[in-house]
Structure 1
Amino acid sequence: MSTPQDAERIAAMIGPLRLARARARAARQAGAHPRRVAGPGAEFWQYRMLNPGEAADKVDWRRSGRSDELYVREREREDPVRLWLWSDASASMDYASDEALPRKKALADTVIAALGLAAHEAGETCCFPPDPRPLRGDTLLAPQGPGDAPRLDAPGPADIVLAAGDFLGPRALDWIAPAAAAGAQGVVIAVADPAEIAFPFTGRVHFDAVEPGDRPFEAGRAEALGETYAAAWTAHRARLADACNRPGWFLVEVVTGEDAAAHAAQIARWLRETA
């Protein structure tokens, strides 16, 4: 079973994950003056007078020496590159076909948390959609994911989305096209249990209802459903591939029982070299 310690171990293996290419892309898109408001940034914007109660170390003494007032040098605020982190918390993720396997949710959480911790270590801004507020390092160990898809209200043109889930819902991939249209890039981590791929069931099998609206199902000869199920699974994978078949998007298919560290390292390489 995956644990927060697994995520911390994998993050340490990855090392600080800097989104240098995304920052360069943001600079090209935003230009020198992206916001026209004061805040953290690299570019000088304006001088203003020191407000009552502000610390003296904010004073720009060179500018203040030319007048009888004390002035503060303000930089223009730049929207940071944000790394949106989402891990599916829908009921279908709470599944493992064998007690020796982790549940799909545990694997998704581990990969997302490890990448988030590595990016946070590099000083990158990480957040859980739809909340754009930067996360603390300890918060990253518990990825959030209400619904079966991330809700991105206004992704920035240089943002990157890391989303892990099974994406089995009928509209679970609908968020990708608008995010890409806004300029965001992303990694879609599709998690599956081995039984969901192979459908190894035979004889009389009872299938529980999982998601809201599902109905339990009793199969007298489960093996007779194998061909139909295989076609449905192939169609699901084709939908995943089609949704991610766009510039700046990367599909990673993960099976529980595989090495989470290897998948996280693969994604980290893509983020460093491509995103």
Structure 2
Amino acid sequence: MVAAERVAATVAQGVHGRRRVGQGESFWQFRPFVQGDAITRIDWRQSAKSDRNFIRETEWEAAQTVCLWRSGDASMRWRSRAAVVEKAARAELLLLALAALLLRGGERVRLITGSSGNAAGITAGRAALERVAEALARAAPDAALPPDNALPRHARIVLFGDFLTPLPEIRTTVGRLAAVPLAGHLVQVLDPAEALLPYAGRIRFEGVAREFEALIPRVEGVRAEYARRLAAQQQGLADICAAAGFGFSIHRTDAPPEAALLALYMALTVR
């Protein structure tokens, strides 16, 4: 968390905090109660109509909420010699640093964790970043794509992962989120070796979870085709995001996190 606060502080020098003012829309909407929400926020009248508890909030409150998720897939727990950190570590750093910036600007942050739909409650205030960090540390490894959580309508969501899973699966997930409706941004975090395939000669490749193995006699002979397929994956991601009204960016773990964080924060807050 200290590293995230340091990165956020550096980026904050180049941007101005954006605290919204005004009452916004006056009508109410309801969302399911999740672990971390204050019990005092439960609307007991609405909850009595079903077997679930509900939180009441205005659409203006939901619009200030930013939901954050990072992939816990095994592929994220890898780094090459060209990178100083694993993809998972960089994704968590960016997530926490973004949370710090958003909280400084008066936004509300909700951490999405788990493949079974668990979520840390919406947090705000000075102690919020510590709560987000603790929830992230407790989170068990999850899937390559976010779970089907009950998310507040008109909120925003930021997804961090390598997004190397098949494009149809990603299209389904992003489409589901956009239909809530949510505005969003997808950040693809890659190791430089994944981006460049800098190897030469006879190399044996193994999956992080040992789910596959491939012996390539001459890696330089497949580099062009690898680059073509990666470019096709990234163009597919960009097209999926554009169709859903989401933003899309790529970050390599050998690059400074500050530049990626600044661009991401500005994309979320400048309209």
Q: Same fold (TM over 0.5)?
A: yes
| TM-score of the aligned structures, taking structure 2 as reference length | 0.74
Give, as a single letter, the amino acid of the residue that structure 1 aligns with 2:181. Answer: G
Contact 2:96-2:129 within 8 A present in 1 as well: no
Query: 1:249-264 counterparts in 2 under 5 A?
Result: 249-264=246-261
Contact 2:77-2:208 within 8 A present in 1 as well: no
Residue in 2 that maps onto 1:105: 88
How far residue 139 of structure 1 moved from its aligned partner, in angstroms, is: 3.0
How many residues are paired up? 228
| TM-score of the aligned structures, taking structure 1 as reference length | 0.73
Give, as a single letter, the amino acid of the residue that structure 1 aligns with 2:151. Answer: P
Of 123, 134, 145, the residue aligned with 2:122 is 134
Structure 1 residues not aligned, in runs of 5+: 41-75
* Alignment deviations for residues 214-241 of structure 1 (CA, whole Å, 9 cap, x no partner): 3111222222222331222122111111
Q: Work out the CA distance in 2 between the residues paired with 1:114 and 1:105.
A: 14
How far residue 95 of structure 1 moved from its aligned partner, in angstroms, is: 1.8
Q: Work out the CA distance in 1 between the residues paired with 2:84 and 2:107.
A: 32
Percent identical pairs in the alignment equals 23
Contact 1:36-1:77 within 8 A present in 2 as well: yes
Residue in 2 that maps onto 1:58: none
* Alignment deviations for residues 55-111 of structure 1 (CA, whole Å, 9 cap, x no partner): xxxxxxxxxxxxxxxxxxxxx842632211111121111222116522111211111
Contact 1:107-1:256 within 8 A present in 2 as well: yes
How far residue 14 of structure 1 moved from its aligned partner, in angstroms, is: 3.9
Of 166, 172, 175, the residue aligned with 1:174 is 172
Query: 1:1-275 counterparts in 2 under 5 A?
Result: 4-15=1-12, 18=18, 20=20, 27=24, 31-35=25-29, 77-78=57-58, 80-81=61-62, 82-98=65-81, 100-129=83-112, 130=117, 131=119, 133-135=121-123, 136-141=128-133, 143=136, 144=139, 146-170=142-166, 171-211=169-209, 214-246=211-243, 248-274=245-271
Contact 1:19-1:271 within 8 A present in 2 as well: no
Q: Specify the SS of the correspondent of 2:201.
A: coil
Contact 2:83-2:192 within 8 A present in 1 as well: no
Q: Work out the CA distance in 2 between the residues paired with 1:187 and 1:85.
A: 10
Contact 2:192-2:252 within 8 A present in 1 as well: yes
Q: Specify the SS of the correspondent of 2:58.
A: coil
